[in-house]
Amino acid sequence: MLRALARVNLAAIERNTRAMCARLGAGTRLCAVVKADAYGHGAVPVARAVLTGGAAMLAVATAHEAAELRSAGIGAPILVMGAVSSDELPDALAAGAELVAWDERFVANVLAAADSAPVRIHVKLDTGMGRFGTRDPQHALRIATAILECRPELELAGAMTHFATADSDLEFLERQIAAFHPFVQRIRQLAPGVVAHAANSAATLSAPASHFDMVRPGIALYGCDPMNQDAARWGLEPALSLHSYVAAVKLARRGESVGYGRRFIAAADTWIATLPIGYDDGIPLALSNNCDVLIGGRRHPLVGAVSMDNIAVDLGSRTDVEIGAGATLIGTDGSERQSAEQLAARIGTISYEVVCWISKRVPRRYHEDGRVVEDQPVAREAGAADRA
């Protein structure tokens, strides 16, 4: 029995990928975003699942993430979407990763470091996200021209942007799409084979006009709703569940408190279960007195402050819950279900953050519709630490 365990259904991720691919027109490919350790699900096993499900490419945020996938033997094209410093560039190039440019200095740095196969570079236009990318289409075209002038060491591979409000403000989304179209047309005059891509999960699901040549979904592949409602409405299956167990059961008399700061004081005699999972495992302090835990097919309120390693659950004045009983924080128990979206709504965040919170200390057990598979690198690492 493990103090905390995240179960990841790779078959669900594969099916979600197929479902997203089915939304695409002929000739449009899917680039699966597996950054941030595949949103807490485990980058390497997830990468294999999405590739089996039809993804043509993988996207990460850092050079280190690209290197991790390559060292695991994954040969698919990898796009590093984030900033890559001069110190990180050798790792990205060694991984054969495709890179993103938004200024000429970065192109010059890549050219100076390139020493083998052509380095494929995507030019990023900022159409409204306001982070990376140049806001000036003419500047973006100059960057594209600079890349073309560096052949054969460099190759102009793509034109991209990123949407700011695809999950909320569709009018602004349409403005971003409209701003991206003429840039794509101009850059294709320079290089007809350039791949245009822009759509995240929300846009892939709700805005076919944003699909271009390739889409870049992330959270939807893991069975979470990018609009933070219910993934089932899109035909997606949550892939991750989070579990612990009841390590202690004790009676709290009326007036007795539970946890740091006495944030729960029993109004009447009640039984309290202690679970060995806390905020270092990914249960945020904000869920103190603000969450349910599923035990024996029933919902019980989390009471008191979430601590680093433990939480407390109110079982009520009478209970049949015993030490060793399983507990679910994300997932299904009997007819009860608690989703990442529901937890996010309680504390004003998004499901992305909920799944990414789950720390490396929590082992991941990978399965395919219940059949456990052996590829459990995170589980072995975390399990060794837990036993120490």
Residue ranges per structural domain of the chain = 10-234, 240-387
pLDDT digit of tens for each residue in the chain (388 aa)? 899 999 999 999 999 999 999 999 999 999 999 999 999 999 999 999 999 999 999 999 999 999 999 999 999 999 999 999 999 999 999 999 999 999 999 999 999 999 878 999 999 999 999 999 999 999 999 999 999 999 999 999 999 999 999 999 999 999 999 999 999 999 999 999 999 999 999 999 999 999 999 999 999 999 999 999 999 999 999 999 999 999 999 999 999 999 999 999 999 999 999 999 999 999 999 999 999 999 999 999 999 999 999 999 999 999 999 999 999 999 999 999 999 999 999 999 999 999 999 999 999 999 999 899 954 544 434 333 332 2
Question: What pLDDT is stored for residue 115 in this prediction?
Answer: 85
Question: What pLDDT is stored for residue 374 in this prediction?
Answer: 59
Chain centroid to CA 386: how far? 24
Q: Give long-range contacts, CB 8 A cutoff, 24+ apart: 56-59.
A: 56/29, 56/30, 56/31, 56/214, 57/29, 57/30, 57/31, 57/32, 57/214, 58/31, 58/32, 58/33, 58/34, 59/31, 59/32, 59/33, 59/34, 59/35, 59/216, 59/218
Could you tell me the pTM of the whole model? 0.93
In whole angstroms, give the CA distance from residue 127 to residue 198: 10
For 316-352, how does the pLDDT look when each residue is reduced to its tens digit (9 = 90+)? 999 999 999 999 999 999 999 999 999 999 999 999 9
Decide: helix, strand or coil at residue 156.
strand
In whole angstroms, give the CA distance from residue 353 to residue 338: 16
Question: What pLDDT is stored for residue 387 in this prediction?
Answer: 27
Decide: helix, strand or coil at residue 242.
strand
CATH code of the domain made up of 10-234: 3.20.20.10
Task: Pick one of 3.40.47.10, 1.10.443.10, 1.10.287.110, 2.40.37.10 as the CATH number of 240-387.
Answer: 2.40.37.10
- The answer to whether 302 touches 313, Cβ cutoff 8 Å, is yes
Catalytic annotation on 260? yes
| Residue labelled with tokens 């197929």 | 18
Using left for φ > 0, alpha for ψ between -120 and 50, and beta otherwise, residue 356 falls in: alpha
For 160-196, how does the pLDDT look when each residue is reduced to its tens digit (9 = 90+)? 999 999 999 999 999 999 999 999 999 999 999 999 9
Contacts of 108 (CB under 8 A, 6+ apart): none
Residue type, 360: K
- The answer to whether 203 touches 163, Cβ cutoff 8 Å, is yes
Q: Which of 222, 245, 260, 279 is catalytic?
A: 260
Assess whether the region 10-234 and the region 240-387 belong to the same CATH fold. Answer: no
Contacts of 243 (CB under 8 A, 6+ apart): 4, 5, 6, 7, 326, 327, 328, 329, 331
- The answer to whether 78 touches 69, Cβ cutoff 8 Å, is yes
Catalytic annotation on 35? yes
Using left for φ > 0, alpha for ψ between -120 and 50, and beta otherwise, residue 23 falls in: alpha
Chain centroid to CA 143: how far? 30
Q: Which of 35, 245, 352, 366 is catalytic?
A: 35
Q: How many residues does the chain have?
A: 388
In whole angstroms, give the CA distance from residue 282 to residue 306: 10
Chain centroid to CA 216: how far? 12
Tokens of 320: 């049949």
In whole angstroms, give the CA distance from residue 326 to residue 127: 48
